[in-house]
Amino acid sequence: MDNGYNEDFELIFNGFGFPDVTSFKASGLVTGQYYRFYVQAENIVGAGNQSPSTYIYACADPSGIEPPVLLGLASSTSLSLRWSEPQSSGGCAITSYSILRDSGPAQPTFTII
């Protein structure tokens, strides 16, 4: 892992003696910072080639977003929506919003008991 500034990598996990371990939790990271990671396998002959680097941000998915609400009046062919920011950005800046809709009216299915 590097420090997020494209500098030198540092060893953060040495799995010597644990050949079946294929996951690791990196901690002590700075929220919103991106980091580069790579993995390298080793056997009794030595270390193999390193994997390509991956860039990962130290943040989570945004959460706590409320549903959109109707803004003003709707016409027979259009409507306007508004929404609020999520309660949590996950630690990284929100870069965009997406609005999705279903394919339109469908006949509801009722079960008579």
Q: What is the pLDDT of residues 40-93, one digit of tens each?
A: 998 889 989 999 999 898 999 999 999 999 998 888 889 999 999 999 999 999
Give the position of tokens 């949590």.
Answer: 88
In the chain, what are the domain boundaries? 1-58, 63-94
Q: Enumerate the β-bridge partners of residue 57.
A: 34
Mean pLDDT of 100-105: 80
Q: Are 81 and 69 in contact (CB under 8 A)?
A: yes
Cα–Cα nearest to 99, from 73, 76, 74, 65: 65
Strands (E), the chain: 34-37, 40-43, 46-50, 54-57, 69-70, 81-82
pTM recorded for the entire structure? 0.58
